[in-house]
Amino acid sequence: MKRKIASRLLNETEASAYIGMSKSYLRKARMEGNRRNRTPAPKFIKIDRTVRYPIEELDAWLGKFHRLEHLGQQYELDF
């Protein structure tokens, strides 16, 4: 049972690789919280000095962002 739960929790290095952001982004986001005009931080678990990111929370966080195939999708261009 412990192994199954632990495999769903990523440390800072694993989480940064999983979402494609730097470890420093994760640190700053944790320290500053959700600030106006900034990308919100993914949810995390902190026990004493240990920080872990549940994979399902990272997936939910990634799912909040728009997916674009190319930049032209942002705008309707009339030619």
- pLDDT attached to residue 79: 47
DSSP code for 43: P
- 21-47 pLDDT, tens per residue? 999 999 998 888 777 777 888 999 998
The residue assigned the tokens 């049972």 is: 1
Q: Distances in Å between the alpha carbon of 1 and those of 4, 5, 12?
A: 5, 7, 23
- Is residue 77 over pLDDT 80? no
Give the pLDDT confidence score for residue 76 in this predicted structure: 54
pLDDT at 65: 81
User: Could you give phi then psi for residue 64, rounded to 5 degrees?
Assistant: -80, -15
Domains of the chain, residue spans: 2-66
Handedness of CA 3, 11, 58, 16 (dihedral sign): negative
Distance between the two ends of the chain, CA-based, in angstroms? 60
How does pLDDT run across 54-72, given as a tens digit for each residue? 999 999 999 888 776 766 6
